[in-house]
Amino acid sequence: MLATCMLLFLWAAVVLARIGAPPARIAVRFLDMITVAVPPALPACLTIATVFSIGRLRKRGVFVTGPHTITVAGQLDVICFDKTGTLTEQGLELQGIVPGLELQGVAPVGDAGGSCAY
């Protein structure tokens, strides 16, 4: 879509330059073409990218419950789950936060349990 828009702009720029249009008018026409071409295609591209992302995650054994979770998960650095109670209770509840104490990429989880902030 972008390549087609760029080719059409180049063609329009050549035509406008041949008839003596000022550079400001050519720039405005370029912005017009981008405004018309991008908004209709953007939601379709985002949907296609989300579908491909879900497919790639499934191949790696990750079950995606909803498309919005992909963008949220992309902003996270670390997630830790304790399955105690998750089979008998519905939902997740944040019990505390353990500060990261990484040492060469390995977090000392055994030592960090006592410094849990609630």
Positions marked active-site: 82
Instruction: Tell me 11's DSSP state.
Output: H
Q: Which two tokens stand for residue 107?
A: 């977090």
Let me know: does 107 contact 100? Beta carbons within 8 Å.
yes
Q: How far is CA 14 from the centre of its chain?
A: 37
Residue 113 phi, psi (nearest 5): -60, -35
Beta carbons of 111 and 101 less than 8 angstroms apart: yes
